[in-house]
Amino acid sequence: MSTSVTITAGDRIKELALNHECARHPLFERLRNDKFEVQQVGAMLRNYDAHASVLRRLLLKAATLMPEPAVGFILENVRNEYGNGDFSKAHQWQLQDLAVQAGVTDDAFTSARIEPGTKKFIQLATRYYYPKSSSAANHMRAAVSAGAVTATEILALEEFKALQIAFAQFNLQHHIWFDHVNVEAEHTDESIQLAEYFINRHNAGKAVEHGLNGVLDANVHLYDGLLNALDRN
């Protein structure tokens, strides 16, 4: 007797994200398998910080698009990014402390080049996090934004798993920044619930996938940028 497996909207969204080409980018293999110099990880973290700093602000803008029942999904994420009420525990400071602990000087961090791929990601992701009518392609703007947020959270979990392996060579795999492995798992669940809200309540599956795919495509550029930061230094 066979049993049927019900595929939920959230399952489909996660499958789309993890089967996208960005999830198989060479950056992940490099992070998992290679050894790096301090200068390399400093440049990479500077680029990661550049993209993450923009995404935090874009999350705030995304919240303004959301209908009332969906706002909480976004704000919980934002609050965590900013230290849950204690700015000294904001994720940005954790990243910068990771760089210092790895031996990266402040001058080396701040002077590291922001790679073209990182800049391209920022340009493209903005179109989907806070879409104008033209980039929303006649879709519900809030649903497009929800798809964008969901893409970031699903891939962020994969990013942090690979980064944690890379920083084991500096004995920093247990640094507080890598609490993101657990935090992003929670954020992924919340963002999938956000996507499901728009799919199930607003019949906006195409809009969600438009935002999802837009940011997944942008992630290819981000990962190009992070990989170039490793290769150029």
Residue extents of the structural domains in the chain = 9-231
For 56-77, what is the mean pLDDT? 92
Per the listing, tokens 């935002």 go with 211
What is the predicted pLDDT for the residue at 191? 85
Looking at the structure, give the CATH architecture of the domain made up of residues 9-231: Up-down Bundle (1.20)
Confidence bin at 181 (pLDDT 50/70/90) = low
Cα dihedral 186, 81, 61, 74 in deg (nearest 10) = 20
- Indicate if the pLDDT at residue 184 is higher than 50: yes
- Indicate if the pLDDT at residue 24 is higher than 50: yes
What is the predicted pLDDT for the residue at 98? 97
Beta carbons of 216 and 17 less than 8 angstroms apart: yes
Q: pLDDT > 90: what percent of the chain?
A: 76
What is the predicted pLDDT for the residue at 1? 44
Closest by Cα among 153, 217, 213 to 185? 153
For 108-126, what is the mean pLDDT? 97
**CA distance to 64, 131, 187, per residue, from 124 (Å):** 19, 10, 22
- Indicate if the pLDDT at residue 185 is higher than 60: yes
